[in-house]
Structure 1
Amino acid sequence: MEIKIGMKSVAREIALDIDKSPEELQQLLKDAITKGEIIDLVDKRESHTLLNAGNIAYVEFAPERQNRIGFAI
């Protein structure tokens, strides 16, 4: 699943491709924001991204994209 995270006072968003379900990720984010914790998100390439939950402005969830080859009529 691809997610885009907007941070307060930052013009660019963070785009990550994560192996968690939307429900798992929503619960993780809700808990961290409520407690004001640091979130450690691990993407499909095993890269870690640490975010201060208090600075998150929004999170956009997008389904997996299917790469299409060829032309559609």
Structure 2
Amino acid sequence: MEIKIGIQHTARELSLESNQPPADVEAAIAAALKDGGVLTLVDDKDRKVLVPAEKIAYIELGEPTGRRVGFGAI
């Protein structure tokens, strides 16, 4: 699963790939935002990513899509 996190007052977004089930990721996000604590996620290389909940601007969840190549739209 691809996760993109926008952080307040930061020009770039935090992007990571995770092998965690989508339900677990959504539960972790909801718990962090509810408690105002720290969002903790694990990426596909088993590294922990910690983001303070009060600094989160937005979160995008989804599957990575392949890049389009060529001039025509298919």
Q: CA deviation at 1:21?
A: 2.1
Partner in structure 2 of residue 2 of structure 1: 2
The TM-score normalised by the length of structure 2 is: 0.78
Equivalent pairs counted in the alignment come to 68
Runs of 4+ in 1 over 3 A off after TM superposition: 64-67
Distance 2:61 2:14 in 1: 12
Q: Using the aligned pairs only, state the percent identity.
A: 33
1:13 matches 2:19: no
Shift of 1:22: 2.0
Task: Say which is worse superposed, 6-15 or 37-46, in terms of deviation.
Answer: 37-46
Report deviation, 1:47: 1.5
Partners in 2 of 1:46 and 1:11 — Cα distance?
26
What is the CA–CA distance in structure 2 between the aligned matches of 1:43 and 1:27, rounded to whole Å?
16
RMSD: 1.9
Q: Which runs of 5+ in 1 are unaligned?
A: 68-73
Unaligned residue ranges in structure 2 (runs of 5+):
68-74
Distance 1:31 1:48 in 2: 17
Deviation at 1:10, TM superposition (A): 0.8
Letter paired with 2:2: E
